[in-house]
Copies of this chain bind each other. A is one copy, B any other.
């Protein structure tokens, strides 16, 4: 298996990206294609003393880099020789099995859609991160790719999330829930009530396990495996979780470091606190899958360090092995809402 990595994407590129790739090769035995400015990548590899891995590492030169301030919808056309563009073209051309980038989310999404293409019949690709919930994790789909959604998009998110949760998270019969402001089926806007109906029908037909509406406060408590929502609400939820976590943790840090006594006390719990921090660290999960694209594309966090990148490669390996795209293709007819006559 060969994973294509955009070596220039993210805050810590290329050094940490290359380092993470080298670690992944050593740990998982996978082959990696590093895309970006060849000289810089070569210098990083030298730092990693990776000469013994030559057979597993391929460098593809790309002279340009997608910057965060570039317009995500046009940059891949204007920077055709950017590492992200080239990486996605390599994936499209079968020169690797999955593609990872820690660069601009919007550009990667646009590029994946235009270059690698969506699965035939899938209306929109979705950003689908897996959040820690004390269990196997909970997928939030969509989280910002599509601020405007239709019931059909959401139905497809439910199916795609269900396949991912079953094949990659290891949920036997993934619980699919619709994010809403209450559990009653009349709650929400037209989007939610209409989506409720089509998800319910898919459940009745035995295609997915729809457990109904879920409220935002339940999401992290391992009561649902796949949370279906439009990209606007999903993004609000995801970033609220991040913000609230940061708020609580920064307040606790103040308490733990307030004086000598509290520092000693915190030390006594250091191991468990570290485990908890690791448990809720998004880097542990890897990156965010772009579901609905014909081949595996993963967005690694912009702030990815080597460990996060390595975990994103592991996620990509699982993604390839599970062949989620194929399961989506096989079931595409179940995910379509016939147009009203």
Using CB atoms and an 8 Å cutoff, list the residues of chain A in contact with chain B: 133-134, 144, 147-148, 179, 181, 187-189, 215-221, 231-233, 235-249, 251-252, 255-256, 258, 261-262, 264-269, 272-273, 276, 279-280
Contact = CB atoms under 8 A, between A and B. Distances in A.
A251 B249 CA distance: 12
A238 B215 CA distance: 11
A71 to B, nearest CB: 10
B245 A248 contact: yes
Nearest to A181: B235
Given A236-B240, A240-B241, A264-B268, 13 more contacts: A134-B251, A147-B187, A181-B235, A188-B232, A189-B232, A217-B243, A218-B243, A221-B243, A221-B247, A237-B237, A251-B276, A252-B276, A256-B269
Given A179-B236, A258-B272, A245 B243 contact: no
Contact of A216 (B217, B221, B243, B266): B243
A144 B267 CA distance: 42
A134 B264 CA distance: 26
For A134, A237, A279, the residue with the greatest tally of chain B CB atoms inside 10 Å of its CB is A237
Of listed A237, A240, A248, A255, residue having the most chain B CB within 10 A: A240
A268 B269 CA distance: 12
A219 to B, nearest CB: 6
The number of times this chain is found in the oligomer is 2
A179 to B, nearest CB: 7
Nearest to A149: B189
A81 to B, nearest CB: 26
A187 B237 CA distance: 16
Given A261-B268, A262-B268, A220 B243 contact: yes
Contacts of A181: 144, 147, 231-232, 235-236, 239
Contacts of A265: 264-269
Contacts of A221: 243, 246-247
Contacts of A249: 248
Nearest to A268: B265
A110 to B, nearest CB: 15
A72 to B, nearest CB: 11
B273 A247 contact: no
A255 B273 contact: yes
Find the residue from A133, A239, A244, A279 having the highest chain B CB count within 10 A.
A244
Contacts of A241: 240, 244
The 6 tightest CB contacts between A and B, nearest first, are A217-B243, A216-B239, A265-B265, A265-B268, A244-B244, A240-B240
